[in-house]
Amino acid sequence: MTDPDALRAALLRGEVPPEDGLLLWAAEAAVETVRTRMTAPRLAVAVSGGSDSLATLVLLSALHPVAAVTVDHGLRPEAAAEAEVVGQFCAERGIDHSILRWDGRGARGNLMDAARRARLRLIGAWAQDRGIGAVALGHTGDDQAETFLMRLAREAGLEGLSGMRESFESEGVLWFRPFLSQTRAELRGHLQRQGIGWIEDPSNENDRFDRVKARKALAALAPLGITAGKLSTVVGHLAMAEQSVLWSLDHLIAAHVRFDAGDVVIDAQGFRDAFDPETGRRLLNAALVWVSGSYYPPRAVQVIDVLTTWRTRRDRTLHGCRILVGDEAIRITREARAVAALRLPFGQVWDGWRIEGPDRPGLMLAALGAEGLRQLGEGCSRARPRASLLASPAVWQGETLLAAPVAGWKNGYEARLVRPSFTSALIRR
């Protein structure tokens, strides 16, 4: 492996070729930025074996000790062998490498989106088990431009068109993209100068996938001067505007929003007076995503309907949540029906809640529900609406209620939210 200290000294002396030096400086700057936010000390790189992720591994590992991880999605017969090739590459360089497997053959709907979420989930759990605080992704300015075109086709708002973030938190891990300002050609150039080959994924030519269509559209737009680099610059301008909106939202949330046992409670007068339609939409989207645990917000037309009719429609269901409008507050709580069938063994995370207390055989976690409220009787807390209590977590032994911490009957058990921060729900990934 390269001696990181010697490499940094060579960089400072200008002894590294300029094109490689720029990439190494970008890698170092990204790591220094994320280090202040990491909750665990180690770094890792997600590596598929393609040029972008492999170059990310090569550049970061030249400067820092890193681990590498590859997800075999089980979607192509070659995938397992490709993961082993990455493993051999890492072994030759003394880099710790793990292979995680996900059987994506049963996935429904948007396959690429399902695969991406599976990667985050699997790698996030892997990273936490190994004391890894941040995982690098090999996205480039080309990916940024392609993402912009795909979101443009979906009529995205400012938060969508401002592109992929340089970093975001998900699955208990900080994810970062060191090379969003560089091109795919620059990363491939680095590999070629190092004499390193990469794996070409045939799905990159499959027109079934929107990203492939966007890539080909970019090539068609080139004669107009619309390039990946220029679109990335536009995305950067939009991202600055997005930061201004987020700053305004942060201040309004601090003044008019509180959080109560997993619910989001918005001051009705403040929502009426202080939130313009855009910030109101963004706040409502974030509340629905955070309370429901969904990855994406509801359809824009549904949110706009809430914004235009909330004064007269006092109670409605949307996105697995109940929206309760009172004279003083708007409360977004979990919909009881959305969690009615969710039963998990004690010790697991139930709908974003972890219940701690004495374990015993046969204990289950489920919603309190109407039967739980009946068993609680007068012991139930009246501090929260019935709708909130119905969807709250409870400990059950068969059909007998043992504890309902959120509803005020702890019986030796505590309920703790383990959802990501509300701020993370405000920000696109």
**CA 321 to CA 298: how far, in whole Å?**
11
219: CB partners within 8 A, 6+ apart: none
The long-range contacts involving 238-243, CB below 8 angstroms and separated by at least 24 positions, are: 238/158, 238/161, 238/162, 238/163, 239/162, 239/163, 241/158, 241/162, 242/158, 242/159, 242/162
343: CB partners within 8 A, 6+ apart: 364, 365, 366
Element housing 175 (H / E): strand 173-176
| Residue 394 β-bridge partners | 366
Residue 53, annotated as binding a ligand: yes
Residue 305, annotated as binding a ligand: no
Residue 50, annotated as binding a ligand: yes
Burial class (CB in 10 A: 0-12, 13-18, 19+), 265: buried
Check: CB of residue 395 under 8 Å from CB of residue 402: yes
**CA 299 to CA 302: how far, in whole Å?**
6
What Å distances lie between residue 372 and 32, 175, 397, CA to CA? 50, 40, 12
Q: Which amino acid appears at position 176 of this protein? A: F
Task: Render the burial of 6-45: b for 16+ CB within 10 Å, e for the rest.
Answer: ebeeebeeeebeeebeebbebbbebbeebeeebeeebbbb
Residue 48, annotated as binding a ligand: yes
Count CB neighbours of 106 within 10 A: 7
Question: DSSP letter string over 194-229?
Answer: TT---PPPGGGG-TTSHHHHHHHHHHHHGGGT--HH
Residue 263, annotated as binding a ligand: no
Three-state DSSP at 180 gives: coil
Q: How many Cα neighbours within 13 Å face the side chain of 120?
A: 16
Residue 49, annotated as binding a ligand: yes
**CA 389 to CA 424: how far, in whole Å?**
25
**CA 64 to CA 42: how far, in whole Å?**
10
Residue length of the chain:
429
What Å distances lie between residue 118 and 56, 114, 128, 129, 288, CA to CA? 21, 6, 16, 17, 22
Measured between its terminal Cα atoms, the distance across the chain in Å is 33
Annotated binding site: 48-53
Annotated binding site for ATP: 48-53
